[in-house]
Structure 1
């Protein structure tokens, strides 16, 4: 018994190692091909299914394809609907392991081709360790180990069959088979590989350790268990990653329920069909493929609804901020309404950017998750505004409206830069914190307070807002910065502050001034835009006599 257990553990270890070698080797050999194939071949659900099935059957890992798909969704290359098409295909592709084991693993002499594959593959690996040849050799060696691992598993289960009461393991009817659904789930959960669970099930079936009904039930459990990999992979991940993982659970869960519904009929058919009794491994591979393919076919018409439902779930702070409140397809049909919506959206973005900058400058230690979410959400909103401007039908706009579009893009760009600079201040806060332990701490705190005060001053909604006054306040802030920088350099020359700590701190403090500069530009440009917007301009304060927005912004400058 101990020998059989050792053989089982060794065979499983070889199998898992082989799958890892196949996956890593083919991914390295393909280079960017995996990304290119998914990018080009997911325009429709059907193309996504074909791509997902092909890639999964090739690399022998639905997890690798699913994780790659999640990455493409996060990068904006795939939508949730397209990603679910790839997941549907991966569900079919992962059934190829069963066919590979059933057809090749049990019907040919393993040593006749497996050991030569390992030898040839490792020779290629040694010849070209850092090239695609080496990666391809690793994959070939992995396929050789795949079959050797299967052979060890088969030998282990044959040993179990000679020393165990098989009748006690055979489920009685449908209720007993359900127990093995849990067995298949647990095997997949422990090995984090449905391919491993299917291989174990097939070798146990062929070795006579379990009956066909039990093996069929275990295959259903493996279908559900493979979703655990996705569930574990998205802990603390982005909202899109969680949506794809949830879609994976929905798809495989539905297929498992369908498999359970078909199980009584399959059990009855196996009891009367001589061919199924003669070729149990092939029969199991056929059943595993059949209920997964049938489930995918039944789910395809509902994928748009599932995608829309998932889009409304797992909404994080960054996505909430990244969703416009005033811009949508309805207002874009009217130039006047569109300009009003742009103005209101930019005003909201400017306020959020000021709040983010205040939080970033007051942050102590590393930036927290909220700061990162605000940063990502605001920059996503900037991209949306820019896209909305480019999507406008320019030939249908009046000249007065068309002249406002460059201004909108400029303000959006200022907001984008202000948010990026504020986040940089938070990420380099440790350099400034060091200076706060020196004799220059009071001057630094006064400078930071002046920046925060100026951010509050850069609000075009103030009833007494004046572009000239905002610019003058910024020029005074520049003077404060120059005086502080001079004092810090003098302290470094006097040996009171190490040069290696001073330079990064000066860069961080200068970044605060850049945030203030961008806030100044945003406020001046928003006030100017508001006077040219048909509806929103009514709520913008009149320009004080003698003021000039263009001149004020030109004089801003930077340090």
Structure 2
């Protein structure tokens, strides 16, 4: 009985250690993302302007959140939300791979040299105190991160106990030949896919090597496999994402695969060199430190390999995955990966709302051009209007889903106040588009009645000033055509919208009075008067909705500027710092 109890208990301890490590990492990552809020966006805007800045930012942020997988998924979300350009995000992802080696150093320095109880428990106590006293605030989020840091190291302690209980012979022996190393790579890849965190795999491997259950060469091969396995989460995050996000996921896969191939080819020489230098510096050989240095070295080697290849790689990827960007009905900025950070999700929603407003104003302008004084519309004009409205409705549906996802998170006061405003603005654009689509279809069905007596001008000429004023308003109220909200000229843009609104109101009254006179004088049939007056009324309602949307948008806090460059912009050379 006792002979089987100890291995079973050790195996349970091992599983518990992995669970605690993953729990701690999740708490740490989520807490820091919530605590950072808009500061994270400002860091991304200010520190990713050059490849070197992007690389350093990727290293630093990954070292902070202790998860290259989370950072890569976040980078994909930031690209989707328009907070990062593709070229900047490329180097953030490369830096996140290098930053993941910090986890190994923490495990080696603190996990094996400091008593876990004395180190981790105070962090858990302090963190939970902050979390409970400040739940829903930035202090509470920081407390969650601090508690997660402590839980993470409790997990490492349980891993050590588990491997100690199992003994050095508990794991199947893997040879250090090519076949054994290839199998170790696959095991490391599989563990990362299952655990969804390469850092967890690294912690397991380091504790196994420290306990003598794995040879250093085999552990190194498993770490290489973990680096490849971490790309799966990025691939899954990019499946339903924008073209830029899928390009970024492809770049991440290429980086990790190329790095893994080179590291596996140089495995023996690298480990021998690291061991020789370590013995020369310290006088003894430490397997854990050797493995941590190897992990750092081959990630650094990957960055050096990509340095000259980044520019052609970016150009190659920018020529792919273009179909999604050509789909107007697909959200460009909304992404489930960024919805986990409410402050950033709000910025993404603001940018998507600008695009929704542009499409709504475009539809309204196209519908307005169907009325006099413009020429009779083409036969396919009605179908085109229907497609435009369907596109906008699909986008608004995605906006609603995204808002629901964000609302499940703990929201700061700023985010909680702006979210209803954005939904109200979405409602204005929705109503405007529906009204103008219906008005356009009505114009297509209504005959352009001429004067009843020869020699008279058409009474429909009275519509021309009002239609022209409506068109001028829709063009002025287009959020993409107006001065950006983040610039000092935002008030000037709103003033232009106000002026266009006032002009339409004046011409509307004149046009309506002219139509009624034409009906009273018998120049226009009464039924036609009602139809064209109804069209004017629809235009007026749409203009009112657009004016409310523009005024509400102008009242929101300014956005940070979009990152320099776009998907189609030239990609800066890494050397051109």
Calculate the TM-score normalised by the size of structure 1: 0.62
Structure 1 counterpart of 2:299, from 289, 292, 297: 292
2:29 aligned with 1:23, yes or no?
yes
Instruction: Determine the C-alpha separation between the residues in 1 that align with 2:135 and 2:13.
Output: 31
2:148 aligned with 1:142, yes or no?
yes
Instruction: Determine the C-alpha separation between the residues in 2 that align with 1:521 and 1:90.
Output: 45
More moved, 301-310 vs 261-270 = 261-270
The Cα offsets for residues 201-223 of structure 1, whole Å up to 9 and x where unpaired, read as 11111111111111000010011
Instruction: Determine the C-alpha separation between the residues in 2 that align with 1:520 and 1:131.
Output: 42
Aligned to 1:204: 208
Instruction: Determine the C-alpha separation between the residues in 1 that align with 2:148 and 2:163.
Output: 22
Taking the TM superposition and a 5 Å limit, the aligned residue runs for 1:479-490 are none
Instruction: Determine the C-alpha separation between the residues in 1 that align with 2:202 and 2:79.
Output: 29
Instruction: Determine the C-alpha separation between the residues in 2 that align with 1:312 and 1:77.
Output: 21
More moved, 257-266 vs 39-48 = 257-266
Q: 1:558 to 1:251 in 2, by over 3 A?
A: same
Aligned to 2:434: 425
Instruction: Determine the C-alpha separation between the residues in 2 that align with 1:471 and 1:118.
Output: 77
Instruction: Determine the C-alpha separation between the residues in 2 that align with 1:353 and 1:92.
Output: 55
CA contact (8 A) 1:205 1:281 kept: yes
CA contact (8 A) 1:84 1:247 kept: yes
Matched residue SS, 1:558: helix
Matched residue SS, 1:171: coil
Instruction: Determine the C-alpha separation between the residues in 2 that align with 1:197 and 1:15.
Output: 10
- CA drift at 1:61: 1.6
The Cα offsets for residues 254-280 of structure 1, whole Å up to 9 and x where unpaired, read as 211121121132455588888498311
Structure 1 counterpart of 2:68, from 55, 62, 72: 62
- CA drift at 1:98: 0.7
The Cα offsets for residues 68-87 of structure 1, whole Å up to 9 and x where unpaired, read as 32233233332211110111
Instruction: Determine the C-alpha separation between the residues in 2 that align with 1:304 and 1:469.
Output: 63
CA contact (8 A) 2:176 2:217 kept: no
Structure 2 counterpart of 1:108, from 114, 117, 135: 114
Matched residue SS, 2:540: coil
CA contact (8 A) 2:271 2:290 kept: no
Aligned to 1:191: 195
Aligned to 2:387: 359
Divergent runs of 4+, >6 A: 270-274, 350-354, 369-373, 467-475, 519-522, 551-554
Structure 2 counterpart of 1:93, from 87, 94, 99: 99
CA contact (8 A) 1:470 1:520 kept: no
Instruction: Determine the C-alpha separation between the residues in 2 that align with 1:142 and 1:197.
Output: 18
CA contact (8 A) 2:271 2:294 kept: no
Taking the TM superposition and a 5 Å limit, the aligned residue runs for 1:524-535 are none
The Cα offsets for residues 291-320 of structure 1, whole Å up to 9 and x where unpaired, read as 111110121222122112111111125437
- CA drift at 1:188: 0.6
Aligned to 2:263: 259
CA contact (8 A) 2:176 2:218 kept: no
Taking the TM superposition and a 5 Å limit, the aligned residue runs for 1:21-420 are 21-161=27-167, 164=170, 168-266=172-270, 275=279, 278-319=285-326, 356-360=384-388, 367=393
Instruction: Determine the C-alpha separation between the residues in 2 that align with 1:62 and 1:269.
Output: 27
Matched residue SS, 1:222: helix
- CA drift at 1:40: 0.4
- CA drift at 1:90: 0.6
The Cα offsets for residues 331-354 of structure 1, whole Å up to 9 and x where unpaired, read as xxxxxxxxxxxxxxx99xx99997
Q: 1:158 to 1:39 in 2, by over 3 A?
A: same
2:540 aligned with 1:558, yes or no?
yes
The Cα offsets for residues 475-530 of structure 1, whole Å up to 9 and x where unpaired, read as 9xx9xxxxxxxxxxxxxxxxxxxxxxxxxxxxxxxxxxx9xx759999xxxxxxxx
CA contact (8 A) 2:189 2:229 kept: yes
Instruction: Determine the C-alpha separation between the residues in 2 that align with 1:163 and 1:315.
Output: 53
CA contact (8 A) 1:357 1:422 kept: no
Q: 1:80 to 1:470 in 2, by over 3 A?
A: farther
Aligned to 1:14: 20
Q: 1:552 to 1:274 in 2, by over 3 A?
A: closer
- CA drift at 1:42: 0.6
- CA drift at 1:450: 3.1
Q: 1:521 to 1:219 in 2, by over 3 A?
A: closer
Q: 1:179 to 1:271 in 2, by over 3 A?
A: farther
CA contact (8 A) 2:275 2:290 kept: no
- CA drift at 1:14: 0.3
Instruction: Determine the C-alpha separation between the residues in 2 that align with 1:353 and 1:217.
Output: 62
The Cα offsets for residues 451-483 of structure 1, whole Å up to 9 and x where unpaired, read as 5557x99xxxxxxxxx989878999xx9xxxxx
Q: 1:450 to 1:257 in 2, by over 3 A?
A: same
Counting matched residue pairs gives: 395
Instruction: Determine the C-alpha separation between the residues in 1 that align with 2:25 and 2:196.
Output: 11
Instruction: Determine the C-alpha separation between the residues in 2 that align with 1:98 and 1:353.
Output: 62
Q: 1:519 to 1:36 in 2, by over 3 A?
A: closer
Structure 1 unmatched runs, 5+: 323-345, 374-416, 430-443, 458-466, 479-513, 523-550
Instruction: Determine the C-alpha separation between the residues in 1 that align with 2:242 and 2:126.
Output: 42
